[in-house]
Each structure stands twice: as structure tokens, then as C-alpha cells.
Structure 1
């Protein structure tokens, strides 16, 4: 193991620029054996190999049953006791199929589209709180409260509880391997808050049909599935709510923040978007590829010895798809480090990206994340004609995280028309 490349996800260089840290690994092949936070892992850095991992039924997401003791010690210590990891992102069929079927009813294109006027009102209210001419943290004042308000409303979290949910969820999601006690405390707090939410929603349930615009849609639907059909136990309920909270908040926050930075760090990009607002969807897709809000996907574990990218991976050995490298695979994308909105339309071979996953575990919330990002920038462009970075890019701080890629703060100067 001593001759393997070492990747420490708490390294400040990795936090600031994972692309530069990981780029040399590509020279070793599309699948590379590394020591990740003390554990030997097969790191997938090739696009085609990532598709193979994400779509193969021979790759398990269930680390409790199918990982070796080393992986359990590094990635799963106390996870089941905290009650937050028995969600569908960590499970295989048939359990995954059962849970996904329950949740996906809330994320149909029709239901997501119906949320747009409401999301737009939230965005406008947040922007109305900006100074007319001054400095604001775009993360703390806009990119974070927008998705946390949306998912909190959908889950039925009361306004006075949202700050606690956000604080403890942030601590849990962003703690690294050196902060096991803090992570355990944060996980316990989140679990207790969610258990309280579920108890209140269960006590207040009536016989009225569910409405996607109602604040309890997701939570109430999951509770009914458990209480009336006996398909969800209490741990699954808590864990699913946590998955929805984390996936509906952190990833969208990072998408908005990363997109804002890409646009503002080179003002010509923002001018081009203002001149052609119809390209916004293409801009969002290029941000998702070039600087994805999630660095890496949950570990997979082969159920049997497997050939992958020219190497032999043994059953149970951890495999990690790393989007930060996969999304810049030169075998898939021409000039992969360049910002080129619309590249998918120009070249069929460059169509799409894997940021929302692939196959059975494709992100159910992808339409909602795209909608929130589109609305966010439509409203920012409309209301803030004067928008610029207030600090040099090199001074910006990134959140340390094994899985997520996002800024801690993004100070910007805004100028808004009066009246």
C-alpha cells in the first residue's frame, strides 16, 4: 500500500482545487488504485468506466453488507446507529426499488414544473433583501437560503427550526475523518430533529389528498406509505428525509454558487449570458460538467471479481467514481478544462454528463435542482444589472468535504435599480 498515490480529502489543496490534485492520476489509467483517507480504493477517473460502474448490477451500493472491514471502519463507523444512512442511495434492489418508487412520485416533471412560481417568489424575496448598492455574501444571502427554504417547505420543516436543521446538516455533511465525534453529534441532532418532524406530521395527518405545493407533501406521503402499507420502518423514514434534505439543499446550493463564480470570475461570460439569456440552460449544464457540486459518488462494491478499465477489481474492494476527474475526461470532451456552454449541442459525442449519476441511482431531484438554478439566475440577471466579485478568486474559501464541492462564502458587489 505504501507505493500507492495518497489522496487526503481534508488537504487544503484538494479542497481548493481538486482538479489540479487529481489530474496526474489520469496518466495512470482510467481506473487507479489510491489510498483515500487511509483506505485503499479504486478511483474511477474515466467517463466510460464511470458509466460501467454506475450502471452495472454487479456493483453494490450497500457498504454494510458488501464492503470489507477496512471500508466499514473508514466510511461506515456508527452510520447505522445514527439512523441516517439506510437510505436508497446506500441500498441495492429490491430495497432500493421499493424506496425509490415511493419518492419519485413527488419529482415528476409536471409536479416540479408546478413549483416554479413559488420558487420564483422565494428568489425575489431574497434578492429584495440585498443592499441597493453594496456588498452581499451570495452564498449566505441567496444560494443557501433558496434551496433550504424549498426543501424545508416540501418536507414540512417549520421556519423556526430551519436554522438548526441547516447548522447540524452542514456539520454532518462536511465533517471529515478527523472529526468523528463532531459528525456523530451532528448526526444525532439531525436524526432527533427529523424524528420530531415525523412525529408531528404523523399526528396532524388527515384524509385530504396530497398536493405537491403543500409543505408536507414528501414527508406525509412517506409516512402514509409506512403507516398504511407497512413498507417503511422508522429508520428508513428518518434516513429518507435526511437524504432528501441533503440532496435538495447542499447540491443545489453548490450548483448556484459554483455557477456564479464561473460567470463572475471572467466577466465576459456574464456579458455573453446577458446578451443571450436563452443560453442559460446550456450554461447550467456546462457548470454541472466543469465544476460539479458533488465531487464523488457513494462508494460501490463489486459483488464478484470484475474487470474495469484494464484492471482486476476484487469482490468487496471499494470503488469510487470521481466526478471532478470524470467530467474532464479528454477521451469524452474536447478541451475539457474550458468553459464551453452548448458543447453538447455542437457535438453528439460530448452530450450529457454524469453529475446527477447514471442508471438506477440517477438523482431524482435533478429536475428540481435545474429549475432552482435557472430561476435563481433569471432573477439575479433581472434584478442585479451590476453584479461583480468583491474579492479576488484566490482569496475565496471552499468548504472542506469528501463528497461536495462548494464555496463557504461568495462576497459580491450588487447594484439594484431603485423602485
Structure 2
């Protein structure tokens, strides 16, 4: 098995252990596991031992493992409508999703110094009540401000709902969506469209590549370097989320592969992105956008190929699309139950009807932002308005249909164990497939000799 797959499996189990057990027991269990995999692996690759242990040490020093009443802490938060998602506590990541509430502050990012007065736990999350001593607004970077200004100019004559959704799907400002919008999107199973992910990054690459004049004196490698620079500027100019980080890393690896003439396999690219994301920020594993983003691509790259060989071996793209949608929905349902308390029964229908219109809106939104750099955004705005209205008509229509989704809450830690075994199972299948392939090559080589 590829070393990167084993490292990803080790890191997944380490984070699972830290989530399931106390910090001390989680570290002990993780060390036993890492040593066991290294000892029983035939290749004895030192990275199987070194990287997970370094990751465990990093996680130990980066995680804030305890909050106590009376503690005075420095919180970095992302505030939306009075609820602040805590991103760091004393410059360390919270071990679980943690929130605090602030009134009379506009949406944005803040540094808050305060004393913890009360701690409440619900659905595995921590909610802190603090006595605020000081609040400081955290500034945006220059590229971020530039994109914000251009989008405001582009949409100066558009309605407020469209501005909210545009900023969510183009600038990554998911907090701009109202609670009513979120509930509508959740009910019909298209919330993933509102979170910047691989789909959006793929659109950026495709649109820039299509619009890049073929007559420019750039060779193929030069065009890919230009695409990577453009993608990086876009990434730096918008709000970050774990799903966006995953998508950017995968997009950058894909373009680097093109630049260096290397073949980039999807599952391997996903695994490298997964490992890098968690090394940079181990707390990303707590984010539902991280879990859904990696989960969806993991199903596409690691699980769906096996399902397709067992269920349908034809060449119909329509049947393939339906099977893929159902596969993603089936394997992500435990996450949706744990986080949102819903089972989406008919989301595959809306994914085939509403999502294409939403995708068109996003594509036109990117083109509009690009044209606005040359003060030509007005050319696309009328079409953008029409597509948005059609999109929202469909959203409202499907929200009138009963049983698109049903509520069901389950807080069992068995869901974490389920996904650890699922990841392990896919990598074992991958190992068996590669092993059989190597064995056949070996036999052929031996016969020819």
C-alpha cells in the first residue's frame, strides 16, 4: 500500500482517538497504533513512524484541551448574527466545536478577551458564556477588500437576497445567508452548493483557462503557471473554510502535476490534501464542511469505482450520475444525522434539477467578477439576475413538497468509528487491488525470463 494512504489512516485514527477518549488515553492509544502499523508493515518506511508522531506532538501543543469557569482567555472568533464560532483560544485550536455569543456587533472576525462564566455542552459542542473585557475587530487583507468592492459594484442594482447568496458562493461568506435560506437549502439537500469547495475551484480553473487567449505567447506550462497564480490570488481574496482549503490544495496539486508533467491520481491527490490540511490545522477535522467536502470526494474517488463494478457496468452517463449521487448521499447520511439531525430522502432529485441552475449562477458570478475588473460586469448582470430568480423559484417549489427530508437526531460516537472503519476498508481494498496487479506483473516478468 502507498505510504501516504497509511499515513492518512494513522492521522484519522489519531484524531478519532482524541475525539473519543480523554487526551491522555487518546495519545496512549495513538502511540500504540502507530508503533503497531510500523512494526507489522513490510516496508518499514520511517515516515510511517515519524510523521504521525510529529503530527501527534503538534496536535498536543496546538489543541486547547480544557476550559474552566473563571479562566480569562483570548478568543479569535468568526461572528455571524450574534453567534461567534471560536477559531482559536489563547492561540490554540479548540478540541471540539466551540461557540460564544456577542450582541451589538456586526458580522466579521474579532479578537475577544474575557472571563468564562458558564460552559454548556450540547450535541458534542461547547457554548461559552463570557464576561467581555476587550473586543478588537480583525482587519481584512487588501485582496479581500478588493474583491468585496468589485462584487458590490457588480451587484449595485441587484436585490438583497441575490447579494447574500452571491457573497456566499463567490466570496465564501456563508454567514451572509439568513437562517430561512439555510433551512430551505438544508431541507432540499443543496447546502453543499453554498459552501465553496472543489466544484467552485474547478469552475475558476475552467473559466480562466477558457477565457485565456490562445494567442498569448505562453506555452502549456506557462499557462498552467498563470492558472496557479490566478487561483492562489482568488484563494487569498475570499473567506476561508476547511472545504475551500481542501479544494485549493487539490487544485494546486493538480496544476503542479501539469506543470511538472506528473500524473496526478485523484485518490492520491485527495489523500495528500487531507494530510496537509490536518497538519496545517488539526482542528479542521471538527468542521462539518471539512467532513462533508472530503467525504464527498472520498466517495467519488475511493468508493464509487467499486460500487460501479458491482452494480452497473454500462456506459450510460445518466445512470452513472444517479448512482454517484445516491452513493454520496448514502455514505454522508450519518454525518448529516449527527450534525443537522436530518435524513435527506429525495435530495438526489434536487441535485439533478436545482443544482445545474445553481451551478450556472455560480459560473456567471465568477465571469461577472472577472469582467468587473475591466468595468464590464454590467454585460453579465441582467443574465445573472434572471438565473438567480429561476434558481430561487425552484428552491421555493421543492420546499413545498413534503418529506424531502425528515428529522432524526443521533449523538452516538459510533458514527466516528463507522467512518474510521470505512476509510480503512477502502485503503485495504486499494492495497489488495494494487497487490494483485503487482503480483501479475511479477509472474509475467518471471515467465518471460
**TM-score when normalising by structure 1:** 0.27
Greater share of helix residues, 1 or 2? Answer: 2
Please say which structure displays the higher CA radius of gyration.
2
Normalising by structure 2, we get a TM-score of 0.26
Higher relative contact order (CA 8 A, sep 6+): 1
